[in-house]
Chains A and B, each alone.
Chain A
Amino acid sequence: MNILVCVKQVPNTQEISIDPETNTLIREGVESIVNPYDGYALEAAARLKDKNKAIKIYALCMGPSQAEAALRECLSTSADEAYLASDKFFAGSDTLATSYILSECIKKIESLEGIRFDMIFCGKQAIDGDTAQVGPQIAECLDYPQITYGLTCEIKDGELHVLKETEEGKEILAVSFPCVVTFTKPNFEPRLASAKRKFAAKKMEIKRIGVTDLDGIDRAKIGLKGSPTQVRKTYVPQVKKGGTVFRDGPPEVAAAKLAKLLVDNTVVKDIE
C-alpha cells in the first residue's frame, strides 16, 4: 500500500512576535518547521507502516527551495520518498489553487512511480494560514471520500478505520480506499528522528515537480492570478468555549458533578 502525506513548511508561530509599529509579523530570524498537524499526519502513516512494512510513505510539499528542509525532516522520521512542488508559477496560490496543484502533483507522482495512492494524509490545517481547507479540497479535486479531524487510524477488513474528533467527543468512521484523511493533535507526539536516518536523509534525493511536469494543468487556475481569494482584512476570531464533559466514574457520579456545577453557577436554584 502507498500513503502520500502532504506537508507544509511554516514559520514557528510560537516564536513569532508582532512589530508594534507596523502591526505585521516579524518573520526575521524565525525558524521554519514542519507544520505540526502535518507531523501528526505523517506519524499516523508511520504507525500504519509499523504494522505493515510493505507500506511505502511519500511526502509531498509545495514551497520554495528552502522547503526541502521540511521534507528532509520527514525523511528523517518515516517518509521513504520526498517530492517538492516548486515553481514560480505556483507562488501566491490560495488554498483552492494549492489544492488543485497538489492534486495534479499527486497524479503525476502516481504516474512517475507507477503506483496508486491508497491514502492521502494531511494535517487538519497549517498553523500559519489556519484555513483547514487544503485537505478537504484535495479530496474534492481527486473525487475521493474524506475524513477530517482524524486522531488515529487502522486498516481493518480492507477499509481505513479512523478515530476522529468531533465537537461532542470522538467517533470511529470507516472509509474505503483511496481516501483523504486530515489529522489533528492526538495524545502523543510524532516519533523522534533516528540519527542514522537523519544523516542519510541529508543525502537523499528530493524529486522536484514544476509546472511543466504537470501535463494538462490549467494555468489559469494556479498562482496568484489563479487564486480567487482576496484578503480584505484579518482579525482574531472569538474563541468559542468548549463545553465540559464528565467522563470519569459511573453516570450517577457524572450527573452529580453536573448538578453541582449548575447549582454553583446559579444556572438552577437547587437540586433535590
Chain B
Amino acid sequence: MAYNQVTPEIIAMLEKVVPGRVVVGDDVNPDYSRDEMPIYGTRMPAVSIDVLTTEEVSQIMRICYEHSIPVTTRGAGTGLVGGAVPVLGGVVICTARMTKIISWDFEQFGVVVQPGVLIQDLKAAALQHGLAYPPDPGQKLGTIGGNVSTNAGGMRAIKYGTTKDYVRGMTVVLADGEVLDIGANVAKTSMGYNLTQLFTGSEGTLGIITELKLKLIKAPKFDVSVIAPFEDLDTALRCVPGIFTNTFRPTAVEFFEREILLLSEKFVGKEVWPKEVEGKPVQAYLLLIFDGDSMDEIEPHTERITDYLLEAGAMDVMIVDTPGQKKEIWDVRSAFLDCIFETHKLFDENDVVVPINRIAEFVQFFSKEAEKYDFGITYLGHAGDGNLHIFGVSDDMEEAEFKRQIHLWMVAMYDKAKEMGGELTGEHGIGYGKIPYFEKYVGPRNIELHKGIKRVFDPKLILNPGKVCFRLEELVSN
C-alpha cells in the first residue's frame, strides 16, 4: 500500500479542523504509542488529535483518506493485544474525551453515548436510574468505544452475554469521512446484513465509532458472592459444568489458585480470603455471583449451590452478602491483573476459550507444556464460560528469548484450544499481537473473507492498519 507521511501541509489542514488540538512529534503523549501489552511493540504517531465530535472525525478522515495517511483510533488504551498501537505511525485519533451521555430512553431501556464514556461511569450513571449496563470486563477504566470495538466480555457473560448483546446501533465515520448511522434503539431488526454487529469487534479497522446506542436492563437490586475453597484446582473445575446442568443460574463463576490470591492480597494490603479450612490449605477457589430483585429470589439458589458444591468436593462454602465484605473480597480479585503487570518485568497473555467441561484438561495441558520453558506461568479465568487468562511471566529472561519461548507455548495452546473446539480469544481481540495465530487458527479462506470485508469498508487500508487482518509486512511491501 502506498501510504504517505504527515506533511506540514496536512498538519495545517488538520489544524483548521481542530484548532489547537493537533499535537505533533515529540509533544504527542507517549501513552498514545502503546496499550497495556507493550511486549507487542510500541510506536509513536506523527500526530495525535483528541477529538470531540463526529463532524471533526469526519473532516479529519476526509483529509487522511485523500492523502492516504494511516489512522489509528484509540480510547483509554487498556487493550491487551496491541490493537491501539499506531504501527505505521500516521495519525492517532483519541476518542477518550468524547465522554457525553447524550440521552436516556427509560421506556425502551436505551442510552445514547459518546465512545469515550468509561465503563465505570456508564455503569454508575445507569445505576442512578435503576438501570444496569451488564457487560463487566475487569478493566472498568476502559472506554465504551474500546469495549464495543473489541466486543469485550467480562465475568457476567454467562447470564448477561457480552458487549455485542447491548449494542443496538451506532454512528460510524467511514474511511473516506462519510458518516453512517446504523441500527436503532429497538429490540429487533432483520434488515439486511447486520452492520452493527460487524462493526462491533472490528477493532477500529472498518470505521470510527463516534456515537453508540446501547441497550440497558433493569438493575438487579441484590447480589451475593459465594466462595468455594478447594484442595485442588482439578476438583474445583470439574464441578463447573454441573453448576449449569443443575440450573443454579449464577451471574458469574470465576476460578483461580492460591498463589495469585496470596500475591494479590499482599499487593492490595488486605487479608480477607480464607486460606485454610480446618487446618488444610486451600489450593483453588471458585467464586460465584448470584443476583436478583430480592434476597428471597437469590437464597434458594445459594442454598442449593452450597449443597451441590460441598457434595462435589468443596472444603467449605462461604456466602458473602454484606457490602463491606463484598468490597473487600472483590478488591482482591479485581487486582489480579494489575498485580501481574506490576510484579513482573516481562509478561504475555492469551485469553482462549475452551468448552467448560474441558477447562481442567486444558489447564493441565498448558501447565505441562510450560515446563519445557524458562518463564513462569500464572492464570485465572471465567470458569463459567471457559474463557481463561493465561500469563507467561519472567523477571530475569532476555526479552527476545522470552518472546521466542512464549511464541512456541502460545502455538501449542492455540492448537490445543482449536482441537478442543474452543476460540482463540474470548474478549481481547486479535489486534496486532495475535494475527499470526489467528491466520493459522481460522485458515486462508476465512482470512480472505476478512480481507475482502476490510477492502469494502477501507479500500486504501488506512484504518488501524496492521490489525486483525493484513499483517504489517503485507502493507509495507505492497
Q: A-side interface residues toward B, CB under 8 Å? A: 12, 14-15, 31, 33, 36, 73, 187-189, 191-196, 198-199
Chain A residues closer than 8 Å to B325, beta-carbon distance = 189, 192
How many A-B contacts at CB < 8 Å in the complex? 49
A189 and B271 in contact (CB under 8 A), knowing A195-B306, A196-B317, A199-B306? yes
Chain A residues closer than 8 Å to B316, beta-carbon distance = 194-196
Q: What is the distance, in angstroms, from A74's C-beta to the closest C-beta of chain B?
A: 12
Say whether chain A's binding surface is mostly helix, strand, loop, or mixed: mixed
A192 and B227 in contact (CB under 8 A), knowing A187-B271, A199-B303, A199-B306? yes
Chain B residues closer than 8 Å to A12, beta-carbon distance = 323-324
B411 within 8 A of partner (CB) = no
B319 within 8 A of partner (CB) = yes
Q: List 21 A–B pairs whose Cβ atoms lie within 8 Å, in order of A's numbering.
A: A12-B323, A12-B324, A14-B323, A31-B322, A73-B322, A187-B271, A188-B271, A189-B328, A192-B227, A192-B274, A192-B320, A192-B325, A193-B318, A195-B226, A195-B302, A195-B303, A195-B316, A195-B318, A195-B319, A198-B319, A199-B306
CB proximity to A under 8 Å, residues B384-411: none
Determine the distance from Cα of A12 to Cα of B306 in the docked complex, in whole angstroms. 28
Chain A residues closer than 8 Å to B319, beta-carbon distance = 192-193, 195, 198
Determine the distance from Cα of A73 to Cα of B270 in the docked complex, in whole angstroms. 22
Chain A residues closer than 8 Å to B226, beta-carbon distance = 195
Determine the distance from Cα of A196 to Cα of B310 in the docked complex, in whole angstroms. 10
Chain B residues closer than 8 Å to A14, beta-carbon distance = 323-324
Q: What is the distance, in angstroms, from A203's C-beta to the closest C-beta of chain B?
A: 12
Say whether chain B's binding surface is mostly helix, strand, loop, or mixed: mixed
Max chain B Cβ within 10 angstroms of own Cβ: one of A15, A187, A193: A193
Q: Tell me the nearest residue of chain A to B319, going by C-beta.
A: A195
**Leading 8 A-B pairs by shortest Cβ distance:** A192-B318, A195-B317, A188-B271, A195-B306, A189-B272, A195-B319, A198-B319, A194-B316
Would A189 and B323 count as touching, CB distance under 8 A? no
Chain A residues closer than 8 Å to B329, beta-carbon distance = 192
Chain B residues closer than 8 Å to A199, beta-carbon distance = 303, 306
Would A191 and B303 count as touching, CB distance under 8 A? no
CB proximity to A under 8 Å, residues B309-350: 310, 316-320, 322-325, 328-329
Chain B residues closer than 8 Å to A192, beta-carbon distance = 227, 272, 274, 318-320, 325, 329
Max chain A Cβ within 10 angstroms of own Cβ: one of B227, B303, B318, B329: B318
Determine the distance from Cα of A33 to Cα of B321 in the docked complex, in whole angstroms. 11
Q: What is the distance, in angstroms, from B123's C-beta to the closest C-beta of chain A?
A: 18
CB proximity to A under 8 Å, residues B97-137: none
Chain B residues closer than 8 Å to A189, beta-carbon distance = 270-272, 325, 328
Given A187-B271, A195-B317, A196-B317, 13 more pairs with CB closer than 8 A:
A12-B323, A31-B323, A189-B271, A192-B227, A192-B274, A192-B319, A192-B325, A192-B329, A193-B318, A195-B302, A195-B303, A195-B319, A199-B306
Chain B residues closer than 8 Å to A191, beta-carbon distance = 274
Contact residue among B227, B302, B306, B324 (Cβ-Cβ distance under 8 Å from A36): B324
Determine the distance from Cα of A195 to Cα of B224 in the docked complex, in whole angstroms. 12
Determine the distance from Cα of A191 to Cα of B324 in the docked complex, in whole angstroms. 13
Q: Tell me the nearest residue of chain B to A15, going by C-beta.
A: B323
Q: What is the distance, in angstroms, from B301's C-beta to the closest C-beta of chain A?
A: 12
Q: Tell me the nearest residue of chain B to A188, going by C-beta.
A: B271
Q: Tell me the nearest residue of chain A to B302, going by C-beta.
A: A195
Chain A residues closer than 8 Å to B310, beta-carbon distance = 196
Contact residue among B272, B317, B322 (Cβ-Cβ distance under 8 Å from A194): B317
A196 and B322 in contact (CB under 8 A), knowing A187-B271, A189-B272, A191-B274? no
Determine the distance from Cα of A193 to Cα of B302 in the docked complex, in whole angstroms. 13
Q: Tell me the nearest residue of chain A to B327, going by C-beta.
A: A14
Would B306 and A196 count as touching, CB distance under 8 A? yes
Q: Tell me the nearest residue of chain B to A36, going by C-beta.
A: B324
Determine the distance from Cα of A193 to Cα of B306 in the docked complex, in whole angstroms. 12
Q: Tell me the nearest residue of chain A to B269, going by C-beta.
A: A187
Q: What is the distance, in angstroms, from B282's C-beta to the closest C-beta of chain A?
A: 12
Determine the distance from Cα of A195 to Cα of B274 in the docked complex, in whole angstroms. 13
Determine the distance from Cα of A28 to Cα of B316 in the docked complex, in whole angstroms. 36
Determine the distance from Cα of A31 to Cα of B324 in the docked complex, in whole angstroms. 11
Chain B residues closer than 8 Å to A33, beta-carbon distance = 322, 324
Determine the distance from Cα of A226 to Cα of B271 in the docked complex, in whole angstroms. 43
Chain B residues closer than 8 Å to A195, beta-carbon distance = 226, 302-303, 306, 316-319
Chain A residues closer than 8 Å to B306, beta-carbon distance = 195-196, 199
Determine the distance from Cα of A14 to Cα of B323 in the docked complex, in whole angstroms. 10
Determine the distance from Cα of A31 to Cα of B322 in the docked complex, in whole angstroms. 9
Chain A residues closer than 8 Å to B227, beta-carbon distance = 192
1/0 per position for B61-79, CB-CB distance to A under 8 A? 0000000000000000000
Determine the distance from Cα of A76 to Cα of B271 in the docked complex, in whole angstroms. 19
Chain B residues closer than 8 Å to A194, beta-carbon distance = 316-318
Q: What is the distance, in angstroms, from B250's C-beta to the closest C-beta of chain A?
A: 14
